Amino acid sequence: MPARPLVQFPDRRLSLPADPVDAFGPRLSALADDVRDTLLAVSAIGLTAPHIGVPERVVVIRLSPDEDLRVYVNPVILWASAETTPHEEGSVSMPGVRERITRPSRIRFGYRDLDGAAHEEETDGFSAAVIQHEIDQLDGIFWIDRLSRLKRERLIKRFEKSNAASSR
């Protein structure tokens, strides 16, 4: 499957909740392959179907180049710890800017695999932050929405400045 073009900030589609997947089969597998191939092409850690313009709850994650890719369909956070940890975050849909986001340190989440089987996992640290970041995207919460208004406005200005400089 080919890599697809990324939806870029400030495209409104990045702020829309994705639809739950209810049909498991070849079409879903092809979509997951497209998300995977795009993730690999842009060297991302995590990517959702909305990042490639498809408003469905599909996530592909690869935490490091030596790890296998993981596909999560309809992921949802079931529990989050009260303890939090800040992590540097960014998005391939808004390249060139990063900021610290504080999220729960540990989570339990449920999801379906490509065959529709239900699973639950518990994770912590960087992995938990990545899962939460991608589930936010599926919920229509772009990562900068987690920043204070002032930090968000400054980050958008930096992004616009960097975009203007790179387009000259």
Q: Which position among 120, 121, 134, 160 bears the catalytic label?
A: 134
pLDDT score at 1: 58
pTM given for the model: 0.95
Q: Which residue has the higher pLDDT, 164 or 97?
A: 97
pLDDT score at 163: 83
Q: What is the mean pLDDT of residues 17-35?
A: 97
- In the chain, the percentage of residues whose pLDDT exceeds 70 is 98
13-17, 91-95, 153-157, 161-165: range with lowest mean pLDDT: 161-165
pLDDT score at 166: 73
Q: Is the pLDDT of residue 162 over 90?
A: no
Q: Is the pLDDT of residue 77 over 70?
A: yes
pLDDT score at 24: 97
Q: What is the mean pLDDT of residues 80-92?
A: 97
Pair type for strands 58-61 and 70-80:
antiparallel
Q: Active site includes 99?
A: no
CB 76 within 8 A of CB 109: yes
Q: Is the pLDDT of residue 75 over 80?
A: yes
Average model confidence (pLDDT) for the chain?
A: 96
pLDDT score at 154: 97
Which of these, 52, 62, 49, 51, lies nearest to 20 by C-alpha position?
Answer: 49
Contacts for 112 with CB less than 8 Å, ≥ 6 apart: 21, 24, 72, 73, 74, 118, 119
